[in-house]
Amino acid sequence: MKENFYNINDVIEAAVRIERSGVDLYLKLFDCSKVPAARDVFNFLAAEEEKHTGVFRKLLESSADYAPRFKYPGEYEQYLEGIASRMTDAVKKSAMAIEAGNIEDAIKIAVELENMSIEFYSDVKKQFEGANAEIVQQIINEEKGHLAKLEAIKGDIKF
């Protein structure tokens, strides 16, 4: 579903929620894993998502007139539920990969999620101009940095 955002703060709040879901994902993977190298990777990734959450929360705090919303009507609520569903599916797939001893697949799933986030924010950026587009670009840059770290980890771990 393609969602139109009219307020940049809604985009930033969605980013905070996406990152929180990422923290939950990686902590669950950490808990599921019995392989020390995998546990290290998932702990690192959870910390990275937590850092991104902090970056995005600071962006929200810089908007003094913004009061976060906790209920979203209509399509926006469905979109957020879709994110949660994809994260839940990713946790299940990654947990099965870990149980099968396939850390590589679990990391590939994390890479997919980061790519999905980058694609989502790239689409959202098209809806804004000027400073608001720059804020969305900052979010994209954070996600790209995380993707680069995932790719580097993928190359460092012996599967």
CB 33 within 8 A of CB 99: no
What are the boundaries of each domain within the chain? 8-156
**What pLDDT score was predicted for residue 158?**
56
**What pLDDT score was predicted for residue 1?**
43
**What pLDDT score was predicted for residue 81?**
66
Pick the CATH number of 8-156 from 1.10.3470.10, 3.30.565.10, 1.20.1260.10, 2.40.50.140: 1.20.1260.10
* Residues belonging to the chain: 159
C-alpha triplet 89, 51, 101: angle, nearest 5°: 40
pLDDT-based confidence at residue 71 (cuts at 50, 70, 90): low
Q: What is the mean pLDDT of residues 63-87?
A: 61
Is a pLDDT exceeding 60 seen at residue 97?
A: yes
The pLDDT tens digits for 16-70 are 877 887 888 788 878 877 778 778 878 988 998 898 888 778 877 776 565 555 4
Comparing CA positions, the residue from 131, 42, 158 lying closest to residue 91 is 42
Spell out a b/e string for 57-75, using b for 16 or more CB atoms within 10 Å of the CB, else e.
bebeeeeeebeeeeebeee
**What pLDDT score was predicted for residue 144?**
92
CA distance 158 to 83: 31
The tokens of 62 are what? 């810089």
**What pLDDT score was predicted for residue 4?**
59
Is pLDDT larger for residue 73 or for residue 39? 39
CB 22 within 8 A of CB 116: no
**What pLDDT score was predicted for residue 137?**
92
CA distance 96 to 16: 27
